[in-house]
Homo-oligomer: A and B are copies of this chain.
């Protein structure tokens, strides 16, 4: 099978090879050193301020979205949430559950946050801002430079879900004035799903320490304290952390984050240039698209996007990524993260061509 979903994605041979090795006991100095290196490399790759820290959470990306909401905010906050799709909506849901006062900026699906729209919320007494780097349900990339400037001017705590965006799109906690950002193991890091990682600047750490979180598993203070000695409070997905270490070091030795960004952008461009003859509308304007994923809408309104997913899976051994909710029948997605080469992209495009010939597209 060729996997063009947005996670779990195709892993490289080095990562797969570690997956077949025995897992070491982890309450040791040896493992602590690996974890300290993981922390330092992630901080470096997010271009995070000095004294930033990482919370290594065993759980899906949602676990770290919820952990962040619980640890960074209280009911004395008043946060702005960008809701441009199902992941933006998840933050709305989380603030509801945890009684965090919020205002949501609801965007048309696949449309960017414009300066005009944002400026209406200037000087309105907010305390925090929550947004995706890339809203993975539509592939929209938000302008984090603009948002960061807005947050700095308004003194807002900026929490960014970069679960899918990290390594595919540019992120700099320093330049974008981001206080905390998340990524996940099974996205562009191309490791097995099981963990998510939050980078916290000093302000984010202080918020955790001042907050009295009513949870053991999501109590970030425990993660920060254990992390000082390179450990986690509970048994982590040890093999994923070993694969993370190997992967981060390889990224570092192969041109760093910028080079990884460049490769993923090149791949997204290759795909987007090659599909121009196909009967698709690119759901998100190309200039606002993340390199992580392309959302496509079949032009023929009688074509079911979900059916395309099923036919490609069952007859072409290719996984693309179906959408859920209101977009299920209208839109599907093609991911550009994980180890994908141009031959595989060509194979997908030939399959699309074949579907056109068969009158299915």
Binding site for B on A (CB under 8 A): 1, 3, 5, 7-8, 10-11, 16-17, 19-28, 58-63, 66, 90, 93-94, 97-98, 184, 186, 192-195, 214-218, 233-240, 313, 319, 321-322
A327 to B: closest C-beta gap in Å: 14
Of B3, B62, B218, B236, which is within 8 A of A193 by CB?
A: B236
A59 touches B63 (CB 8 A): yes
Question: Closest CB-CB distance, A32 to chain B, in whole Å?
Answer: 13
Taken together as a complex, chains A and B put the C-alpha atoms of A238 and B191 apart, in Å, by 11
Query: Judging by beta carbons under 8 Å apart, are A7 and B235 in contact?
Result: yes
- A8-B238, A235-B186, A240-B194 are contacts. A63–B319 as well, Cβ < 8 Å? no
Please give, as numbers and ranges, the residues of chain B lying within 8 Å of A192 by CB-CB distance.
Answer: 23, 194, 237-240
Closest B residue to A322 by CB, please name it.
Answer: B27
Q: A16-B22, A60-B217 given; name 9 further pairs at CB < 8 Å.
A: A8-B24, A10-B22, A20-B20, A59-B59, A66-B217, A90-B216, A94-B216, A97-B214, A194-B195
Q: In the assembled complex, which residues on chain B have CB atoms less than 8 Å from the CB atom of A234?
A: 59-63
Closest residue to A219 on the B side, CB-wise? B97
CA distance in complex: A237, B57 (Å) = 13
From residue A354, how far is it (CB to closest CB) to chain B in Å?
20
Q: Are B25 and A3 in contact (CB under 8 A)?
A: yes
Contacting residues, chain B, for A62 (C-beta < 8 A): 216-217, 233-234
Asked if A8 and B215 sit within 8 Å, CB to CB, the answer is no
Nearest 6 Cβ contacts at the A-B interface: A20-B20, A19-B19, A60-B234, A194-B237, A194-B194, A8-B23
A217 & B63 in contact (Cβ 8 Å cutoff): yes
Q: In the complex, what distance in Å separates the CA atom of A22 from the CA atom of B93?
A: 33
Taking CB atoms, residues of chain B closer than 8 Å to A215 are 66, 97, 215
Contacting residues, chain B, for A11 (C-beta < 8 A): 22-23
A235 x B23 contact (CB < 8 A):
no
A90 proximity list for chain B (CB < 8 A): 216
Give chain B residues whose Cβ lies under 8 Å from the Cβ of A186.
Answer: 23, 235
Task: Compute how far the CA of A233 lies from the CA of B60 in the bound complex, rounded to whole angstroms.
Answer: 10
Expressed in whole angstroms, the minimum distance between the Cβ of A60 and any Cβ of chain B is 4
Among candidates B20, B93, B321, residue contacting A17 with C-beta atoms closer than 8 Å: B20
Could you list some 17 contacts between A and B, CB below 8 A? Answer: A1-B24, A3-B22, A5-B25, A8-B235, A11-B22, A16-B21, A28-B319, A59-B59, A59-B63, A62-B233, A93-B216, A97-B216, A192-B237, A192-B239, A193-B235, A217-B218, A237-B237
User: Do residues B22 and A236 form an inter-chain contact, with CB atoms below 8 A?
Assistant: no
Question: A61 — which chain B residues lie within 8 A by C-beta?
Answer: 234-235
Chain B CB count within 10 A is highest, among A3, A8, A23, for A23
Tell me, in angstroms, the Cα distance from A233 to B66 when the chains sit together.
14
- Please, which residues of chain B bring their CB within 8 A of the CB of A236? 60, 193
B7–A59 CB distance below 8 A = no
Contact between B60 and A98 (Cβ–Cβ < 8 Å)? no
* Contact (Cβ within 8 A) A193 B63: no
CB-nearest residue of chain B to A233: B62
